[in-house]
Amino acid sequence: MNSIKFLFAAYIATWIIHGTYLGTLVRRFSRLKKELDELGESHRSANQ
Amino acid sequence: MTEAPVSLWSVTAATLKKDIRLEWRSKDALNSMLFFSLLVVVIFSFSFDPLAEESRLIVGGLVWVAFLFAAVVALNQTWARELRNQVLDAYRVSPAPANALFLAKVLGNFIFVIVLEALMTPLFIIFYNLHVLGPVWQLIPIAFLGTWALVVNGTFFAAMSLRTRNRELMLPLLLFPISIPAVLGMVAGTTAVLTGDNPAHFYIVLLLTYDVVFTTAYLGLFETILHAE
Amino acid sequence: MKRGFLILSVLTGLLLVYASYQALEVAPTERTMGDVQRIFYYHVPSAWTAFLLFFINFVASIQYLARTKPSAQTATKWIFIAIGVAGAVASFLPPVQQQLTSLGMRPSALATTALMLPVFYLLLGKWFPGEKLDILAVTSAEVGVVFCTVVLVTGPLWARPVWGIWWAPGDIRLTSTLVLWLIYVSYLLLRRFSNSAQTQMLAAALAVSGALDVPLVYFSIWFFRTQHPQPVIGGNGSIDPRMLHILLLNWLAFLCFASLVCWSRFRLEVLKREVEEAYAMESLGEPVAVAPSMPLKRGTR
């Protein structure tokens, strides 16, 4: 039954890999959205 | 005004002669390559007993690792020289075909690495007490085709890495994955000849195919690379 | 569009749960390998998905390279059509059929795969015009690397308990996958570290070189193994039909998941380019368009 450990390790590892990647996507998204908003803000304040 | 010939071969020959002359005067690349290879040979000679039969199995890999890293040393400075004084820009606006420049660089690097290999071979034989059990002549096509594979890939990727932030790091990163079939051919072929256990014919054919495919592909793609800002 | 994404996410989630349950509980236990063999239901679909994504990257890269020269465009289009038709016809020729049956493949499978090549080429060209080709290229490369990583992690985890070794350098499939992973990681690194205005062209050239390399990798390792016999990790050919059923189910689930991830990555890349454009406009003193100028929905013009 030792080999079952490998089965669970494989399934868990798969989702850790996918989860980590999705996490980086979310982080990059929020950072870009913030930048875009800041750019809009700075331009609006510069024009006033 | 007489029209100077701008054929592929004349430009290639002129560029090649220039590179060889420059290298011959400074011997920068050759010296660093030699020193590096010597270092690898000596360090690895401590790692196994040269009298053992097993040593013949490992030497093939070692030899090519040494040559591969030494070739990277040469390749790294291949285009660097052209960047100074805007020589590369001059090439881009000249009517000379881009392929001529590429071929000249590949041939130049090829000659340098072959010279290195010729100089290092006696050292390998001495340090590892090499005694070739298979047909020795087969090592020549393996060396030539293998070196061409490394050099044609290396020159192309060196041009590609010119505009990257860590140029020297980028070259091996791009070069090694794509060269894997060629490296397998070189290492396995050399080992086959050294041990005499297996025929090396397929590896020679593999290397030849690899060289033909990639040289053709790069001749087609090089113009795109040359004109990258 | 946002709602479509949400619906697809929920469906995919359910599909994945169902497929995993099938893999872990319902599928019959393999005779020789035991329950560890169930890794196969994650390992193989991930591999097929990764290869599909890399193939999409290859087609997108070629089209991107050719898009500035109409002559190159028509040439590559006809080459793809020729390969598709030739492959489809050839798979039904007697000598080829014999080879295929000895490998356990059906001629119709090879014919369909061959026909997929021009179909993909034409569809991708239509749905992703111009710059979108490049966005598709980077998306498929990145997501492909993620799936490929899963393959390379689950492979040794399966190999160790069953065949006793983590890795066999002469194992064709695992080693070819490793080389493909290395090539695409180098592709992503080139994209990240390149300062050139033509980064996209350079990356496309690298992708094409990589694609040319893959068959050579396969053959070099194939010959290497004939001289140095190694264990075949992953077993040979035939599958129990019940297992095949569950395998395909898992592949469907992972394909849906991959589409979602690609969709997200695609939108991210579009947003990134908008921000870059906004920076460029700002430095020129132009008004910054905060509303997206490019439609975010994938596949529309």
Q: Which two tokens stand for residue C232?
A: 């075949």
Q: C30-63: per-residue pLDDT in tens?
A: 777 778 888 888 999 999 999 999 999 999 999 9
Of C65, C205, C216, the CB nearest to B210: C216
Identify the pLDDT of residue B196.
83
Q: B130-155: per-residue pLDDT in tens?
A: 888 888 888 999 999 999 999 999 99
Highest mean pLDDT, choosing among A18-22, C97-101, C280-284: A18-22
Q: How far is C288 from chain A (nearest CA, A)?
A: 6
Do residues C67 and C130 lie in contact, with contact meaning Cβ atoms separated by under 8 Å? yes
Q: How far is A48 from chain C (nearest CA, A)?
A: 13
Taking an 8 Å cut-off on Cβ atoms, the answer to whether C271 and A9 are in contact is no
Q: B25-50: per-residue pLDDT in tens?
A: 777 778 888 888 888 888 888 877 76
Q: C144-174: per-residue pLDDT in tens?
A: 999 999 999 999 998 888 888 888 877 888 8
- Residue C83, burial from CB neighbour count under 10 angstroms (0-12, 13-18, 19+): middle
Neighbours of C106 (CB within 10 A): 12
Do residues B210 and C216 lie in contact, with contact meaning Cβ atoms separated by under 8 Å? yes
Higher pLDDT, B12 or C149: C149
How sure is the predictor about C296, in pLDDT bands with cuts at 50, 70 and 90? Answer: very low
Higher pLDDT, C282 or C52: C52
- Taking any CB pair shorter than 8 Å as contact, residues of chain A touching chain C are 2-4, 6-7, 9-11, 13-14, 17-18, 21-22, 25, 28-29, 32-33, 35-37, 39-40, 42-43
Q: Determine if the pTM surpasses 0.95.
A: no
How sure is the predictor about B106, in pLDDT bands with cuts at 50, 70 and 90? Answer: very high
Do residues B203 and B185 lie in contact, with contact meaning Cβ atoms separated by under 8 Å? yes
Identify the pLDDT of residue B5.
54
User: Could you tell me the residue ranges of all domains in chain C?
Assistant: 2-25+38-266
Query: Chain A residue closest to C264 (CA)?
Result: A25
Q: Which two tokens stand for residue C167?
A: 């890795």
Give the C-alpha distances (Å, rounded to integers) separating C19 from B33, C42, C47, C250: 56, 10, 17, 5
- Residue C144, burial from CB neighbour count under 10 angstroms (0-12, 13-18, 19+): buried
Predicted ipTM > 0.95: no
- How many Cα atoms within 13 Å fall on the side-chain side of residue B70? 31
Q: How far is A32 from chain C (nearest CA, A)?
A: 7
Identify the pLDDT of residue C88.
83
- 3-state DSSP call for residue C222? helix
Site from C68, C227, C228, C230 to mutate, B interface, most B CB atoms within 10 angstroms:
C227
Rounded mean pLDDT of chain A? 87
Q: CB under 8 Å to B210, separation ≥6 — which residues? A: B145, B149, B181, B182, B185, C216
Higher pLDDT, B141 or A39: B141
Of A10, A28, A40, the CB nearest to C268: A28
Query: Chain B residue closest to C194 (CA)?
Result: B164
Higher pLDDT, C54 or B24: C54
CA distance C277 to C135: 15
Structure-token match 């290639």, residue found:
B12
How sure is the predictor about C234, in pLDDT bands with cuts at 50, 70 and 90? Answer: low
Query: Chain A residue closest to C158 (CA)?
Result: A6
How sure is the predictor about C297, in pLDDT bands with cuts at 50, 70 and 90? Answer: very low
Identify the pLDDT of residue C300.
41
> Which C residues 14-33 touch A at CB under 8 Å?
20, 24
State what percent of residues in chain B have pLDDT above 90.
28
CA distance B32 to B38: 10
CA distance C264 to C41: 25
Taking an 8 Å cut-off on Cβ atoms, the answer to whether C193 and B228 are in contact is no
Query: Chain A residue closest to C274 (CA)?
Result: A36
Taking an 8 Å cut-off on Cβ atoms, the answer to whether C261 and A39 are in contact is no
Identify the pLDDT of residue C30.
74
Q: Does C209 touch chain B (CB under 8 A)?
A: yes
CA distance B130 to C39: 46
Q: Is the pLDDT of residue C29 over 90?
A: no
Of C146, C153, C161, the CB nearest to A3: C161
Higher pLDDT, B146 or C301: B146
Residue C194 β-bridge partners: B164
Span C62-72, average pLDDT: 84
Identify the pLDDT of residue C293.
47
